Structure 1
Amino acid sequence: MTDPPAVRFVNAPDLPATPGYSHAAEVRGGRTVYLSGQIAVNARGEVVGEGDFTAQARQVFENLRAALAAVDLTFDAVVKLTFFLTDFAHLPQMRSVRDEFVNTARPPASSAVQVAALVRPELLIEVEAVAAAP
């Protein structure tokens, strides 16, 4: 594991308080790594947790962990997450699973978007990430 570069997570005083994410993540130095959106498929390409949002979210985060490891990083280096959900009713479950993986004391900047569909009809969530490395 490598330490992330100097990253300052900021919540602007003129904006409302945030539930588990930062308004901004400022990266000072280092390299930036962009992770493609991850979906709930295992190494064999099989959908995990069909119909089960929490199981799909955990698989997505495990896939993100694997992508980060491939570039010698961990979730500590993640500065931005973008969530694509087929139903915002799943936001509480998404936040709960996210909190199992990210540093909740320094949560990454985040966005959530509700979409009509994802690349496969049985998928409920996709997550992409940006990480900062020294």
Structure 2
Amino acid sequence: MKIHFTVLLGVLLASFAQAQTTTKFPSGYLYKIEAGAIGRQVYVCNQRPFNTSGELVGVGDLTAQTQQVFENLKTALGTVGMTLRNVKQVTYHVKGQTSQVNSTISQQVNSVSATYFTQGAPGIAEIKSIPKIASDDILVEVEVIAEK
């Protein structure tokens, strides 16, 4: 019994290691989860401003980074047959030194989002200031909840 368990564990670990080295995910739209009824509700979390090559877009430029995030969101939602029109809730996490988002940052984010949410902003939209994101050069990350 002990030998069977050891062999099984070895096979599982080898399979896991192979899956980790051979699976390549596209950069920038990595965190997509379907919940509940398949195809009905999707959560996209920690969407960051990386292009498909994995390079950070718009270092120091909040507008360029927000645009890249929206392009990544369109791609992620498209993989499950949705568009930005399906977004019901959006939360922007913007890098800042205080807990309050200043009006300039708010205007930049809202201006970019207006060009992508052509049918109007989702019913729930919030901009939060956070002291640090995954990297010092990342100025914004976005979460959305979309529903068919």
Fold agreement, TM-score > 0.5 = yes
Aligned residue identity for 2:128? V
Aligned positions, number: 104
Look up the match of 1:5. none
**Deviation at 1:105?**
3.7
**Residue aligning to 2:33:** none
TM-score by length of 1: 0.72
Gaps spanning 5+ residues in structure 1: where? Answer: 1-29
Q: TM-score, normalised by structure 2?
A: 0.66
SS of equivalent residue, structure 2 residue 45:
strand
* Per-residue deviation, 1:104: 4.4
Q: Deviation per CA, 1:56-112, whole angstroms, max 9, x where unpaired?
A: 010011011111101111111000001100132311000000001114446331122
Q: Alignment partner for residue 142 of structure 2, among 120, 127, 131? A: 127
Higher relative contact order (CA 8 A, sep 6+): 1
Contact 2:42 2:146 in 1 (8 A): yes
Structure 1 residues 106 and 52: alpha-carbon distance in aligned structure 2, compared to 1, 3 A threshold: closer
Deviations 1:30-64 (CA, angstroms, capped at 9, x unpaired): 82111122111111111000011100010011011
**Do the aligned partners of residues 86 and 132 (structure 1) sit closer, same or farther apart at CA in structure 2, a change above 3 Å counting?**
same
Listed as ranges, the gaps of 5+ residues in structure 2 are 1-38
Higher helix share: 2
Measured in 1, the distance between the counterparts of 2:54 and 2:118 equals 29
Q: 2:112 aligns to what?
A: 97
Which of the pair is proportionally richer in strand? 1
Q: Which residue of 1 aligns with 2:11?
A: none
Report percent identity of matched pairs.
35
Corresponding position of 1:45: 54
